[in-house]
Structures are given as C-alpha cells and as structure tokens.
Structure 1
Amino acid sequence: MSYAIIGFGNIGQALAKAFARNGIEVSVATTRNPESFASAAAAIGPAIIPKTLAEAVKADVVFLAVRFESHQDVAKALPNWQGKTIVDVTNAYGVPPEELGGQPSSKAVAQAFTGGRLVKGFNHLGAAVLDQDPAVHGGRRVVFLASDDGDAVAEISALAENLGFAPIKLGGLADGGLLVQARGNSWGQLIFKDLVKFD
C-alpha cells in the first residue's frame, strides 16, 4: 500500500510527522516544485519523500490536506481515481452551503474525485494538536472517520491505528460527516474536540 499527502502546510506536515514517527513511507506534494519543500520534508525524516503532484497521485491512498477551495485542482491531476482512497482532510469553513448545493462539503469533494473512494477524516484536530504524538496518558488520541464506503473506512481505520491513533467511525458522509465539517460559518459538533480513548 502506498501513501501520499497532497498539501504541505501545517496540517500536511503534521500528518507527515505521524508517518515518520512510525517509519511508514509517504510521498508529499504540492503544486510547487518538490525542490522548494525538500528541506522541510528531510527535516521530518527519511520516510517523507517529496514528489511532483503527478507522481504523488499514483499512490493508493491520497490525503487531501489542501485548502478546500483547491480540491478541484488536485482532482484534475487524474482523469479517474478508480481504485484509490482519498482522505478528505479539508475544512470548508466560510464556504456558503449554497455553493455546495446544500450537501456536505465531503460529498462535493467525493464528486470531484471521479471513481475514488472518499473518507472524511483527520480534519477535526488543529495542526498543533495533530502534530503531537497521539499516545496520551496511556491512551490514544481519537480521529473521527466518515465514509459511504465500508471497505475504504476500514482501510483508513487500520492505517490510523498503525499511525498510533484511535479511529472512531461516524457512519456515512451525510450523517456522521456533518459532525466533523464546517457549514458556512459554523463548525460541526466534533470539530476541535481533542479526545483520548483508553483501551
């Protein structure tokens, strides 16, 4: 299984650190030339591989850690996303619900990535929290996952466990997804809730 993170701002780098902590290789890409962020990637660890966007989207699992407004540009990198799982880490805060046709933002993202399987996840924590080791006081930091595809959410749930998090499945995008997304100028009820699960 190959992984990529598209977007290398605060959230993209926090995700990269989670992969690096566990020695799991991940490609990182932006719309910029990989040389422009190669030193930042190297500082995180040898498992973080800078690539062009065209190279990175060849991965099996693609984390979308860009501004919500940029998701369509990333989606255009491939004509079809068949066989790929996209983890939507975006937050559409400030985007009027009318612009999304009244549907959850993750549904709009899913439509842009034709043929791909979409999981909403890793977006409810701020970068400063996501950046930290998820092992907390003998428990594990929770990440919420929502998807209309049971196999995709199981796959990302297993990855979240490998990264040291405690995944909690919220159900489909239209119900559970609403708990972890912004609508206009309001946040879902679980956004920014930093929870720890004790086994």
Structure 2
Amino acid sequence: MHFNSVSRRTLLTLAAAGVLAAAVPAAAQEPVANEPVANEPVANEPVKAAVPARIGIIGAGNIGGTLGSFWAKAGHAVMLSSRHPEELKTLVEGLGPRARAGTPAEAIAFGDVVVVAVPYKAYPQLARDYAAAWAGKVVIDAGNATQARDGEVYGEVQAQGIAAVSAKYLAGARIVRAFNFANYKLFAKNAHRDGGRMGIPLAGDDPQALATVSRLVEEAGFDPVVVGPLAKADSFAMGSPGFGLEITGPELRSRLGVAR
C-alpha cells in the first residue's frame, strides 16, 4: 500500500479494525495482576484502551514520563527505562500498577511500540548498542536536535533533515515522528482538553505503524494529524513553522495543508 493513498480516516479504521491488536502478543493483552479491567469510562478519566499494548520508553525524563503517564492511565503496560532503572522506582510507582522500570534493552524487547525520548546526541549510541533490536519495531521518535546540546548530530540534522537522520540511526524500525513538535508542558496541559483536542502531527512511511501510533495519540487525549511520509517530519521539527502550535486538529490540518 502506497502511503499517499492512505487517508487519515483509513489509518484510524485500520487501527480500530485490529492493527494494534495484531501487533500485540496474546500475553501482552492480559491485565497486570491485581488491576481491574475498566470497560466503562469514569468521569474526568481517559477511556481505557480496547486492546492493551506494551509500550517501551527509552528515556524517563519529562517527555518519557509524561507520555508514560498518559498510556498507563489508558490501560497500556508501560516500561520506562534508564541505564539505572532502580532510580525510577518513585516515578513508576506514581504511574500505577501498569508501569514498571527497566534498562533500554529491556524496554525495546518489552515494547510492541517503543518511544525514543532521549537527547538527540544519544541516537548514535542507540544505533551502536541496539542495532539489531530495532528491526520491525514500531518506534515513536520524539527527539529533537539542538545546537547547544547535540553537537555533531545537530550538524547532520541541519544538512540532511531530522527525518533522514532518525532513519539512519534507528535503521530497520517502522518510525513515526510524533510528540516532538512541542514542549512536554503543552502535552501535560492539553491532554483530553475540552473545546477541541490539541492536534499532534505525525509522519511516517509505514501505514500500519501510522495507524497504531494514531490510536495511541487519541488514547493519550489528542487529535492525530497525519502529515505524510517520514520526510514530511521536517515540516513540524524544532525551528519550523509547524513547531509548537497549541491548536486543534482541524486548525493544524489547515495550517500544515493536510487533507482530512
């Protein structure tokens, strides 16, 4: 299926029809011990995911912790990771019984979907340490490159575009750029907001990966806006006109020229 033939409605239909379920082993769909499965929505709480997934998060900083909290509340099993997972005890306890801590290698192996939420200068190390592990994984690439922090890798991004550089370092992954276009505080502030959900731009080359991530964006409390193939991720990268827009999904589609 060629990407350009896939509409947003088709993507969400794919997800609703079982794309996420197909990505999740049967064992992963079982509830965590001692946690009740909630089928009915509760006031002021997100609706539970129809098909729980396992989500590994590389990094446990502001963005990783914020996204992990959204998906744990939605009923997914979440593993936040660090080279020193014992230091994450307080964080994961605060996210409830569906959250746990592990090393980056464990998080990649655990996740049906893996979120990369580390400083961009760490991407070459991720490539060296886990090269074989990325193959076939649905990866949400939430990283941004800044000159002061990321050094030589920032230069690569300026020369080649962030989509191409992410594809280089996460070789073999089914990459979807998402949750990279704004500060984590905007996500925390706007999740499940009233009056029109905040739009989250996504870009990727794999239609099923886009469908899976679109569903996770919805369950986190936002409106997924599929901008196009991975190369289009530069249109909402840091420093672009599409960065940091705290607007609704329809407004974001209009601003970025995306057909519904």
Shorter-chain TM-score bucket reads 0.7 to 0.9
Quote the Cα distance in structure 1 between the aligned partners of 2:220 and 2:158.
35
- In the TM superposition, 1:131-150 aligns within 5 A as 131-132=188-189, 134-150=191-207
Inter-partner Cα distance in structure 1 for 2:93 and 2:125 = 26
Q: How does 1:66-81 map to 2 (within 5 A)?
A: 66-80=118-132, 81=134
Give 3-state SS (helix, strand or coil) of 2:143's partner: coil
In terms of fraction of residues, the more helix-rich structure is 2
**Residue 49 of structure 1: aligned partner:** 100
Counterpart among 237, 243, 247 of residue 181 in structure 1: 237
Report if the CA contact (8 A) 1:17-1:131 is conserved.
no
- For the 8 Å contact 1:157–1:167, the answer to whether it is kept is yes
SS at 2:130 equivalent: coil
Q: What's the TM-score once normalised by structure 2's chain length?
A: 0.68
Contact residue 126 and residue 169 of structure 2 kept, 8 A: no
Equivalent in 167, 170, 174 of residue 113 of structure 1: 170
Equivalence for 2:38: none
1:3 aligns with 2:55: yes
Q: Secondary structure at the match of 2:189?
A: coil
> Is contact 1:88–1:106 with CA below 8 Å preserved after alignment?
no
Residue of 64, 70, 73 corresponding to 2:116: 64
**Residue aligned with 2:57, SS:** strand
Q: 1:57 to 1:141 in 2, by over 3 A?
A: same
Amino acid across the alignment from 2:144: N
Match of 1:86 among 125, 130, 139: 139
CA RMSD of aligned residues (A): 1.9
Q: CA deviation at 1:139?
A: 2.4
- 1:71-100 deviation digits (Å, cap 9, x = unpaired): 222233423222201111001122676424
List runs of 5+ in structure 1 lacking aligned partners: none
For residue 145 of structure 2, what is the amino acid of its counterpart?
A
Q: Which of 208, 212, 218 lines up with 1:151 in the alignment? A: 208
Higher strand proportion (structure 1 or 2) = 1
In the other structure, the counterpart of 1:130 is: 187
Deviation of 1:63 after TM superposition, in Å, equals: 0.5
Q: TM-score of the superposition, structure 1-length normalised?
A: 0.87
Distance 1:110 1:197 in 2: 26
What is the CA distance between 1:107 and its match in structure 2?
1.6
- Aligned residue pairs total 192
Q: Which amino acid aligns with 1:143?
A: I
Contiguous gaps of at least 5 residues in structure 2: 1-23, 25-53, 251-260
* Aligned residues with identical type, % of pairs: 30
Q: Deviations 1:130-166 (Å, cap 9, x if unpaired)?
A: 1235222242221110112222212211221222221
